[in-house]
Amino acid sequence: MAAPMDDRAKVDCVANARALAPVIAAAAPRIEATRELPPDLVDALHEARLWRMLLPRSYGGDEVSPVDYVQAIEEIARADASTAWCIGQTSVCGTISRNMKPEIAAELFKKNPRGVLAWGPTNNAKAIAENGGYRVNGVWPFASGSKHATWLAAHCFIYEANGEQRRDTGGKPVQRTFVVPRERATFQDVWHVIGLKGTGSNTYTLADVFVPEDYSVDYHALDPAQRREHGPLYKFTVYQLFGSSFPAIALGIARTMLDDFCALAQGKTPQGQTALLRDNAVVQSQVGVMQSQLAAARSFFLDAWRDIWQGAQIGDPTLDQRIRLRMASINASQSARQVVETTYLAAGATAVFESNRFERRFRDMHAVSQQAQSQFSIYEAIGRHFLGMPANSRLI
């Protein structure tokens, strides 16, 4: 029997993530070796409802606040970054259900309590209009979490049957997103990477797949009239939610790595020395700086989310709130990366061995930092705003 809505509303995703963390951490070596989440862990994540955090309650989700969501992702990342990445990516993908026809969203998620949607970014794919739907062809890379998904999304440019590209009233090419069962796709095993090995972010292809009209949606649509879910969570764009998932993962990696370093420093005597690592004044200063840096970044990040979430209860997020959230997100990503780099170097030769968790987390962090929303260039849009110029970024 499904839980009553009031019970689902009380789901504590942060506590669930924290409780499952030892199980996730224990699975980390298998995740790294097999380059995917093992079936028993996938089952445990479903049991803890961590795949359902951002889904609407009307489709069997928990519709948690973004403040709780990012803290849950942070807790998962402390145990294993690949797991957090899979949960974060697919959770945000599922929010496009806000614009879906209810019967389609119910098919994806409510009828199947293990329903998960994954996707890769647009790659000049085409959907050609025909009677009743579209003929879809294309290739989508970086499909994180797709090994555990039941559905895939295909972002496409729309073409008419005569080959003419469809454009909106402003002359811009029209895009739509199509959802298809995972088994309709062909996958290429390309995810041989430096870090986040367990995300299975492979490439998939759809070749001449017919998708009925009802299984398409404009997930970019911000007009409330196009939304079928009107809770405050669904006032946020996928870019804002994705853009907050990445820093949450970075903060989790940095926190656990810094904690491990503090434990190491209290017992390690560097080669050729007689004093413990913790007795070194430089190390003491570094730890003081890193603890302060990480705490400040996390506080700013959560405060920005609390502020914009409170505003979303009564209206749409303001431009100033959106800018502040983007500032806090990129600051958290950049600060966490700096903490990880300093910690790795301070740990010395110990950090290079696979028997310690330093080297894997160093690699994971540098895979996280390569994501477009984690890079330094994000500051440009923020700076433009404060200089009286349009931000010119869909990420704001």
Question: What pLDDT is stored for residue 100 in this prediction?
Answer: 94
Same CATH fold, 236-386 and 117-226? no
Tally helices (H) and strands (E) across the chain.
11, 8
Question: What pLDDT is stored for residue 221 in this prediction?
Answer: 61
CATH superfamily membership of 117-226: Butyryl-CoA Dehydrogenase, subunit A, domain 2 (2.40.110.10)
Question: What pLDDT is stored for residue 330 in this prediction?
Answer: 97
pLDDT at 3 exceeding the cut of 80 = no
Query: What is the CATH number assigned to the segment(s) 236-386?
Result: 1.20.140.10
Q: Give the least confident one: 116-125, 129-138, 315-324, 357-366.
A: 116-125
Task: Give the mean pLDDT of the chain.
Answer: 93
Question: What pLDDT is stored for residue 6 in this prediction?
Answer: 42
Domain ranges across the chain: 5-110, 117-226, 236-386
pLDDT at 4 exceeding the cut of 90 = no
List own/partner pairs for 218-221 with CB under 8 A and 24 or more apart.
Answer: 218/99, 218/175, 218/176, 218/177, 219/96, 219/99, 219/153, 219/155, 219/177, 220/175, 221/99
Give the model confidence (pLDDT) of 175-187 as tens digits. Answer: 999 999 999 999 9
pLDDT at 55 exceeding the cut of 60 = yes
Question: What pLDDT is stored for residue 1 in this prediction?
Answer: 34
pLDDT at 326 exceeding the cut of 90 = yes
- How far lies 299's CA from each of 239, 304, 376, in Å? 21, 8, 20
Give the residue with greater pLDDT, 117 vs 354: 117
Question: What pLDDT is stored for residue 84 in this prediction?
Answer: 98
Instruction: Please state the pTM of the whole predicted model.
Output: 0.94
Give the model confidence (pLDDT) of 375-386 as tens digits. Answer: 899 999 999 999
Question: What pLDDT is stored for residue 271 in this prediction?
Answer: 86
For residues 40-68, average pLDDT: 97
Q: Does domain 5-110 have CATH number 1.10.540.10?
A: yes
155-191 as b/e, with b when 16 or more CB fall inside 10 Å? bbbbbeeeeeeeeeeeeeeebbbbbbebebbebeeeb
Yes or no: say if 205 and 184 are a contact pair by the CB < 8 Å rule: no
